Each structure stands twice: as structure tokens, then as C-alpha cells.
């Protein structure tokens, strides 16, 4: 019988407990023996333990030190003693993935704490050159924003920047009843694959982020008004963008075109 643990709100803990959903997630990840899988927030090991049996060895990053011994027991102390399950008891936002001794591209998975899921994703951007793909459980609304297309209600600054860095695919929804305790929000699984070559050319990513943030800062305002301090209506028209349109109607390429006007 698996060792249990009282979920802590300060860590945003909700433990996946639905065997059907666990199986479906593992099928989506499709782990293979010898692959380097890193799990963020393994909790009690609902995904860790079955995936460990497939791949042979794993690294996991767990902030809650009190849950670590329970994770070790659930996955088997022999796995820990034989260095098959390596537990890093630290904050993932401070973890340097480049320090891992890797010979294969990293595959990163996790049920991310909803309150810091976006900072974690953009922290991983720094390590995208060594990452093959990522599969995350996130709040449903975050997955909808990550994968949203222009001219839809969920399209946002997050959509633009995530799709600049990753090929984003929303896989499937996960009902709240799949967790213990039951959260107040629904979840979803998303796949993020770092682009080997960015879809648009940007020389200064920090400046591009600022432009996108500015464009979405007042969603109801037209581009003519919200971008008036960085680009004129005439300049927008010169690249085929209607100055009376709004940020949520622009494609990633159009944001890149506006950025080029400001450089």
C-alpha cells in the first residue's frame, strides 16, 4: 500500500490519484528505457514509480523535504540505494538543469504548482538546448492560454511568448476528481517542444517581450493607442497591420514585424 501524505497548501500540493489518468499521461509521454527523464514535483510518485520501472533511472526535483522519505518508500528504497531514483530536494526555480550528467536530451515532466507554473516554464527556456520535450499538468486555463490562436478569447502575451519558444500542444483535460485533495480548478496536460529554430527572427528577446507585454497591457485599446510611444499608425500600415486592430488579433509573425520597426 502506498505511503500517504497530507497535502500542504503552501506547496500547492494536489496528488494525482486516478489510475486511468495516470495511465493516459504515461502513454502520452511514451517513456523508453535509457531516456533521461526529469520530473518536477513528483509528490508521492504516482507518475514517478511506474515511469522509473520503464526508464531504469530518473532525477526528480521535490521542494517538500517531508515528502521525500515517503516518495522513496513508494518507489522502493532499493531504487534510491542503487542510484536509480535521484531526488533533488530544492526549489526548481533555482535548479540548474545543465549540472545534470546527461548524454541524452532531457525529457521533463511534472504536475506543476499552479501558482508558479509560468515562471517554471520560462526558467526552462534557459535550458531549452538540452531539452527534447516537456509534458506538464497545469491549470486548464493556463494550457488554454499557452496553446491559444489569434482572435480567440484565451490568446494573450503568454500565448505569443510560449509559442515563440515552443511548439505547444494541448493534449487532454484532467477532471478535478482525479486528485486528492480535490482542487477547485480543472487541469490539463500540455506538451512543449523547444524549437530547434525559432519561428521568427528576434535579435533582442528582452525587448521583444516588452513589446508584447505593452501590446497586451490594455487589451481593449487599439494598437494605434497602446503602441503610440513606440510605433506610429503609418508604420503599422506600412507592414500591412491595421492600426485600429488589437493585440489579440496579431500573429507571432506580425508581432515580430512590429518589433523590427522598433529596432
Return the H-helix or E-strand segment holding 25: helix 19-29
Task: Tell whether the model's pLDDT for residue 15 goes beyond 80.
Answer: no
Q: Which band of pLDDT confidence, cut at 50, 70 and 90, is reported for residue 10?
A: very low
Task: Tell whether the model's pLDDT for residue 5 goes beyond 50.
Answer: no
SS3 (DSSP) at 13: coil
- Say what the alpha-carbon torsion angle 40, 41, 46, 47 is, to the nearest 10 degrees: 0
Q: Which three-class secondary structure string do you get for 113-148?
A: CHHHHHHHHHHHHCCHHHEEEEEEEEEHHHHHHHHC
Kindly give, in sequence order, each residue whose CB lies less than 8 Å from that of residue 76, ignoring residues fewer than 6 positions away.
Answer: 49, 85
For the segment 179-236, what is each residue's pLDDT rounded down to a tens digit? 877 878 899 999 999 999 999 999 999 999 999 999 999 988 999 999 999 999 999 9
**Per-residue model confidence (pLDDT) at position 237:** 97
Tell me, yes or no, if the pTM score tops 0.75: yes
Return the H-helix or E-strand segment holding 75: helix 68-75
Return the H-helix or E-strand segment holding 226: helix 223-226
Please state, rounded to an integer, the average pLDDT across all residues of the chain: 92
For the segment 131-142, what is each residue's pLDDT rounded down to a tens digit? 999 999 999 999
Domain annotation for the chain: domains and CATH numbers: 9-194 (3.40.50.150), 205-262 (1.10.8.100)
**Per-residue model confidence (pLDDT) at position 2:** 52
Kindly give, in sequence order, each residue whose CB lies less than 8 Å from that of residue 117, ignoring residues fewer than 6 positions away.
Answer: 136, 138, 139, 142
Return the H-helix or E-strand segment holding 237: helix 233-238
Amino acid at each position: 500500500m502506498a505511503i500517504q501524505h497530507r497535502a500542504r497548501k503552501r506547496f500547492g500540493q494536489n496528488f494525482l490519484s486516478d489510475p486511468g489518468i495516470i495511465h493516459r499521461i504515461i502513454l502520452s509521454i511514451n517513456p523508453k528505457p535509457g531516456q533521461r527523464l526529469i520530473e518536477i514535483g513528483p509528490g508521492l510518485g504516482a507518475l514517478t514509480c511506474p515511469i522509473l520501472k520503464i526508464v531504469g533511472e530518473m532525477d526528480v526535483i521535490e521542494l517538500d523535504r517531508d515528502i521525500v522519505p515517503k516518495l522513496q518508500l513508494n518507489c522502493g528504497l532499493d531504487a534510491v540505494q542503487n542510484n536509480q531514483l535521484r531526488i533533488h530536494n530544492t526549489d526548481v526555480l533555482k535548479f540548474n538543469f545543465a549540472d545534470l550528467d546527461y548524454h541524452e536530451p532531457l525529457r521533463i515532466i511534472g504536475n506543476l504548482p499552479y501558482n508558479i507554473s509560468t515562471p517554471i516554464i520560462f526558467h526552462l527556456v534557459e535550458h531549452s538546448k538540452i531539452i527534447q520535450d516537456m509534458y506538464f499538468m497545469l491549470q486548464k486555463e493556463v494550457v488554454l492560454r499557452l496553446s491559444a490562436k489569434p482572435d480567440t478569447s484565451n490568446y494573450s502575451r503568454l500565448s505569443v511568448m510560449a509559442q515563440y519558444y515552443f511548439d505547444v500542444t494541448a493534449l487532454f483535460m484532467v477532471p478535478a476528481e482525479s486528485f486528492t485533495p480535490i482542487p477547485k480548478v480543472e487541469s490539463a496536460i500540455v506538451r512543449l517542444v523547444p524549437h530547434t529554430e525559432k519561428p521568427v527572427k528576434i535579435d533582442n528577446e528582452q525587448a521583444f517581450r516588452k513589446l508584447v507585454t505593452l501590446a497586451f497591457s490594455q487589451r481593449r485599446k487599439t494598437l494605434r493607442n497602446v503602441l503610440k510611444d513606440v510605433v506610429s499608425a503609418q508604420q503599422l500600415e506600412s507592414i500591412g497591420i491595421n492600426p485600429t486592430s488589437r493585440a489579440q488579433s496579431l500573429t507571432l509573425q506580425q508581432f515580430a514585424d512590429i518589433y523590427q520597426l522598433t529596432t
